[in-house]
């Protein structure tokens, strides 16, 4: 069967510990982070070429979002909030064009707002402000209540499709 067409209709970004901290009226872009596996390139001395072997690790994760106007909450709590990493909820509603039903998307991301980039301001227009999170230590993606993947630096797991890709490594280390 052909894949369904899912169209994004709404997005939001909020602090996960404060459900009233919605940016639904100011957010203009949400960039879920790229998930890329680490690679180790090997060129054998007697080989005919190189191979990039994939490792059971992820490269650093850097989600982004943009808002119209100044987000004073982000600026007041820039970087660390109460001495801890901020935990964010990125949310979206998608429309399944075949069934006409809404599909919910939720991502929880724990990291630090590392970049605040205000655009140029023109009188009569709202200022664009871009935000990037770094030092991400947790990231999950849940679509319509189903965990698609979850990655935790400190938990030392990476689940994809319900399978923990790092379980055998923890077991081998006796952890």
**pLDDT attached to residue 81:** 53
**Which residue in 83, 142, 88, 77 sits closest to 111, CA to CA?**
88
> Which residues touch 35 (CB under 8 Å, ≥6 apart)?
58, 61, 139, 149, 151
Kindly state the tokens that stand for 109.
Answer: 């991301």
- Sign of the Cα torsion 90, 91, 97, 98 reads positive
**pLDDT attached to residue 19:** 80
**pLDDT attached to residue 164:** 92
The model's pTM: 0.86
Q: Which residues pair with 158 in a beta bridge?
A: 151
What is the three-class DSSP state of 67? strand
6-173 classified as CATH 2.40.30.200: yes
- Tell me the DSSP string of 96-121: ETTT--EEEEEEEEEEEEEEEEE---
Q: Which residues pair with 163 in a beta bridge?
A: 160
- 126 burial (CB, 10 Å; 0-12 / 13-18 / 19+) is middle
Across the chain, how many H-helices and E-strands are there?
2, 11
**pLDDT attached to residue 79:** 62
pLDDT per residue as tens digits for the range 86-134: 899 999 999 999 999 999 999 999 998 888 898 888 888 888 999 999 9
**pLDDT attached to residue 83:** 47
Cβ-based neighbour number of residue 107 at 10 Å = 21
Q: What separation in angstroms does the CA of 130 have from each of 7, 57, 126? A: 23, 28, 13
Give the residue ranges of the chain where pLDDT is below 50: 83
Where do the structural domains in the chain lie, given as residue ranges?
A: 6-173
**pLDDT attached to residue 84:** 57
CA separation for the pair 88, 31 (Å, rounded): 13
**pLDDT attached to residue 48:** 93
């Amino acid at each position: 069967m052909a894949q369904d067409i899912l169209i994004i209709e709404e997005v939001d970004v909020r602090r996960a510990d404060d459900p009233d901290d919605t940016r639904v009226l100011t957010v203009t872009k949400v960039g879920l982070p790229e998930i890329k596996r680490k690679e180790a390139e090997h060129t054998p001395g007697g080989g005919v070429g190189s191979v990039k072997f994939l490792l059971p690790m992820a490269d650093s994760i850097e989600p982004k979002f943009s808002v119209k106007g100044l987000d004073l909450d982000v600026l007041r709590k820039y970087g660390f909030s109460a001495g801890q990493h901020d935990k964010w909820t990125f949310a979206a509603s998608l429309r399944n064009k075949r069934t006409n039903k809404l599909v919910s998307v939720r991502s929880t991301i724990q990291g630090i707002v590392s970049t605040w980039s205000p655009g140029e301001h023109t009188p009569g227009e709202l200022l664009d402000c871009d935000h990037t999170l770094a030092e991400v230590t947790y990231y999950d993606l849940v679509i319509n209540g189903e965990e698609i993947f979850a990655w935790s630096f400190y938990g030392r797991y990476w689940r994809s499709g319900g399978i923990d890709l790092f379980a055998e490594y923890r077991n081998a280390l006796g952890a």
